[in-house]
A and B are shown apart, each in its own frame.
Chain A
Amino acid sequence: MEILGFMADALSPINLLLAVLGVAAGIVIGALPGLSATMAVAVLVPVTFGMPTEMALIMLGAIYTGAIYGGSYAAILINTPGTPSAIATTFDGYPMARRGDGDLAVTLSTLSSVIGGLVGAVALLTLAPLLAQIALKFGPVEYFWLAIFGLTMISALSEGSILKGFIGAGFGLLLSTVGVSVIGADIRYTFGSQFLLGGVEIISALIGLYCVPVLIDLVATPSAHLKPPEQKRGMRLAEGVGLMCKGKFNALRSSVIGVVVAIMPGAGGSIASLVSYSEARRASPHSERFGHGEPDGVIATETTNNAVVGGGFIPTFVLGIPGTPPDAVILGALLVQGFRTGPEMFTTNAQVTYTFIGGLFIATLVMLPLGLLIGRYAFKSIVSIPKALLVPSIAFMTIIGTYAIRNNPFDVVVMVVLGVLGWVLSRYGIKPSPIVLGLILGPIAEQGFVQGYLMGNASGSVMAIFFGRPLSLAIIALILISVAYPLWRAGRGRSSKEAAHEH
């Protein structure tokens, strides 16, 4: 009862106002390519320094929630993930928008984000101490295996040839090694350029690989960017709710994936949404529709990335280890406020923590009307803008967004070059998603592998380090299942087809 009382404190008018403002600001920043949720939280942190801790946390949580959701607008309407968490939203969201269902995709993204956000907040409320203990057991070797598990998703992400998917992932992994290596400090593949010392920035690469090919194809023909809706049909809420009801298991599974991945420090929303997309595709009876505008794809990724918000606060609050990059910024804000994270967050400082969790629930619920309203106009505006204005506007946002990441014009050049390369490779059958997967998982895999190798050398058995820990074995089992299951399913499909022919 005491907990409920603390949570009810979040319902004060000023807290509600902060939640609305935070969500709105987050949606706008998240929707701009290049401005990630981390940036949204980081930029607005100073605003909260003068506030009481509860209010500051509610506002930061609302900004974070809104930004993660806002990332889906750019993903659906211009095929550019507004935040890295929205990468997988482009796979089905953009094809939906192209065929005239952008309004439905935005509504689905809103509903899914709300459900994912609520599940994440419930997990934070009920499971925090227990889940945080599991996260502590993850060492470098487990992260290495987790990255390998992530790479098995290539089979789900590559359209057409899996072989080309693996080549694309290898290309991405090699790109991730450019610059100074994390262990050993070797300077790799910079060819004497000081600009490449910092490596290929992931967000600029994302913008380039997803957005530049769209621009290249946009200018090539006079046809409309997105198919305009044939009649006025509002925000298609009833249709969206119907699809959500049909995909309720998908939404639940994706939310759980979001929470589980979020409690592992450093994994983040992009990996979580890619995992859930891959699982949704594997589990779906219509897996061939994924990548071509399947609503379940949007539901899976958008539920997950918002479940990551609540899930990521679990290790942040209980262990003081940020679950995701925006959590790291919020952790810093907590320290400025004079709070120490740890078990006392749920005992001595329970009032602040539970008021914040209440605020997170409110921010997530506020996202529903706000998101539906903004989403409706976002789709209408993008559809009605003439191509001659849309192309420079998108190009302008990609340029300024990329520049703003590190205030470096060279990142803009890298973004354009990677975009052109992505467009060329796409014509040869290598889609951007495996490349991006390699870029994201490369540093995690390399660090885990090299650290595990060093630990193995020090302890006398590299094999025991990589194959002798229960958690590693569990992840290896998952890897084997995820590789074997599609093969088994394809084999079963073939034999049932043959049986049907015989009859």
Chain B
Amino acid sequence: MSTEMHSPRIDARRSDRCLASIMIAFALGALWFSKDMSIMGSIFPRAVAIMVLIFSVALLVRAFVSRPTLPVAEPGSVGRRLGLIAVLLVWGLSLRWLGFIASSLLCAGALVWLAHYHAWTLKRVMAYALVLIAIIAFFYTLFAVVLNVPLPVGDLWRAP
């Protein structure tokens, strides 16, 4: 049925130890920050944090006493992945300052560049730019005009 079902696996002892340690710290943090809450407000997050703590300790113990495995992760360019994350974060953070249209044009353009693996030609640049502008224009009209969603104009463009 699938290729993933029989994909090669790797030793997960180190990654499981790492994951368990992070989750133990996370659960302890959740417990620590619940100390100032009322009983009603803290009973549920505390119960869950203790549950996470117990399961994480069990995972840590398992990573020492047995040999867990994980499917091999999808390979690929780390640089492009980090680039995509950076662009998405910049997109979210710049919405208020640059406004919806400017930030979308800039960030969507950056993503085209990141996701393209072939040689650039002038024709291709023009075609992609036109398609991208059309998509942004369509969704802007749909959301801002038809659905009346107040999309950010951008503090940068407002008169002081």
Residues of B within 8 A of A222 (CB): 117-118
Contact with A along B46-74 (1 / 0, CB 8 A): 00110110011011001000001011011
- Bound together, the chains give a CA A389 to CA B115 distance in angstroms of 8
Q: Kindly report which residue of chain B lies nearest to residue A443, judged by CB atoms.
A: B44
Q: Kindly report which residue of chain A lies nearest to residue B140, judged by CB atoms.
A: A400
Judge whether A216 is part of the interface by a CB distance below 8 angstroms. Answer: yes
Q: Are B128 and A389 in contact (CB under 8 A)?
A: yes
Q: Are B15 and A403 in contact (CB under 8 A)?
A: no
Q: Are B92 and A409 in contact (CB under 8 A)?
A: yes
Q: Are B132 and A412 in contact (CB under 8 A)?
A: no
Q: Which stretch from A13-21, A260-268, A338-346, A444-452 is at the chain B interface?
A: A444-452
On whether A167 and B23 interact (CB within 8 A), knowing A183-B40, A388-B112, A403-B95, the answer reads yes
Q: Are B1 and A392 in contact (CB under 8 A)?
A: no
- Bound together, the chains give a CA A413 to CA B27 distance in angstroms of 23
Judge whether A6 is part of the interface by a CB distance below 8 angstroms. Answer: no
Give, as a whole number of angstroms, the nearest-CB distance from B123 to chain A: 13
- Bound together, the chains give a CA A167 to CA B52 distance in angstroms of 5
Residues of B within 8 A of A466 (CB): none
Judge whether B84 is part of the interface by a CB distance below 8 angstroms. Answer: yes
Residues of B within 8 A of A389 (CB): 112, 128, 131-132
Give, as a whole number of angstroms, the nearest-CB distance from B78 to chain A: 8
Residues of A within 8 A of B58 (CB): 163
Q: Are A429 and B12 in contact (CB under 8 A)?
A: yes
Residues of B within 8 A of A170 (CB): 27, 48-49, 51-52, 55
Q: Are B74 and A217 in contact (CB under 8 A)?
A: yes
Q: Are A412 and B91 in contact (CB under 8 A)?
A: yes
Chain A interface SS verdict (over half): helix
- Bound together, the chains give a CA A211 to CA B131 distance in angstroms of 22
Judge whether B150 is part of the interface by a CB distance below 8 angstroms. Answer: yes
Residues of B within 8 A of A407 (CB): 149-150
- Interface size class on chain A is 35 or more
- Bound together, the chains give a CA A413 to CA B131 distance in angstroms of 26
On whether A399 and B91 interact (CB within 8 A), knowing A404-B143, A409-B152, the answer reads yes
Q: Are B26 and A396 in contact (CB under 8 A)?
A: no
Q: Kindly report which residue of chain B lies nearest to residue A172, judged by CB atoms.
A: B48
Partner of B48, one of A173, A186, A417, A420: A173
Give, as a whole number of angstroms, the nearest-CB distance from B42 to chain A: 7
Judge whether A393 is part of the interface by a CB distance below 8 angstroms. Answer: yes
Judge whether A174 is part of the interface by a CB distance below 8 angstroms. Answer: yes
Residues of A within 8 A of B89 (CB): 413, 416-417
Residues of B within 8 A of A468 (CB): none
Determine which residue in A171, A188, A217 has the highest number of CB atoms from chain B within 10 A of its CB, and name it.
A188
Q: Are B132 and A392 in contact (CB under 8 A)?
A: yes
In chain B between 100 and 151, which residues have their CB closer than 8 angstroms to a CB of chain A?
100, 104, 107-109, 111-112, 114-118, 128, 131-132, 135-136, 139, 143, 147, 149-151
Counting from the closest, the 8 A-B pairs by CB-CB distance are A220-B76, A186-B41, A292-B2, A184-B40, A170-B52, A412-B92, A222-B117, A388-B116
Chain A contact residues, CB within 8 Å of chain B: 43, 95, 99, 160-161, 163-164, 166-167, 170-171, 173-174, 177, 181, 183-186, 188-189, 212, 215-222, 288-289, 292-294, 386-393, 395-397, 399-400, 403-404, 407, 409, 412-413, 415-417, 419-420, 425, 427-430, 442, 445-446, 449-450, 453-454
Query: A170-B27, A219-B81, A389-B112 known; 8 other A-B pairs, CB under 8 Å?
Result: A95-B4, A219-B76, A387-B117, A391-B114, A392-B111, A399-B91, A404-B143, A412-B92
